[in-house]
Amino acid sequence: MNVKLLVFGALFVAVLTVTTSPVFAVEASPTPTIPNSLAKAIGFGLAALGAGYAIGNAGAAGLAAVAEKPEMRTFAIIIVALGEALAIYGLVLLFILPS
């Protein structure tokens, strides 16, 4: 390993650490253009809309598969449950976003 490059890198990091003021690291938070409650409503609304679409299509296909092969019932339930998880993700989004 090149010792000169290692010493130069260490010196560069030391100079940056000493000369950088912590004031430069703090930025003023911009004012949001959309209120947080509206962002939460849009996020959950889209998640619920996607979940409804997924459950509708997966449920219809699952019922058709169960009508032909009754042993496919478990797989149909699992696939519909995966669609329902989208709505749960939307609820989690509501709690994660700041108010």
CATH of the domain spanning 3-96? 1.20.20
Residue 37 has a pLDDT of 81
84 with 51: CB under 8 angstroms? yes
Q: Which segments of the chain does DSSP mark as H helices, in order? A: 3-19, 36-68, 73-96
What digits encode the pLDDT tens for the residues 4-31? 777 777 777 766 665 665 655 556 666 6
- CA dist 47 and 7 (Å) reads 53
pTM of model > 0.75:
no
Rg from Cα positions in the chain:
26
Q: pLDDT for 27-74, tens place per residue? A: 666 666 677 788 888 888 988 998 999 999 999 999 999 999 999 999
Residue with more model confidence, 79 or 98: 79
**Cβ 43 vs Cβ 97: under 8 Å:** yes
Q: Where are the domains of the chain?
A: 3-96
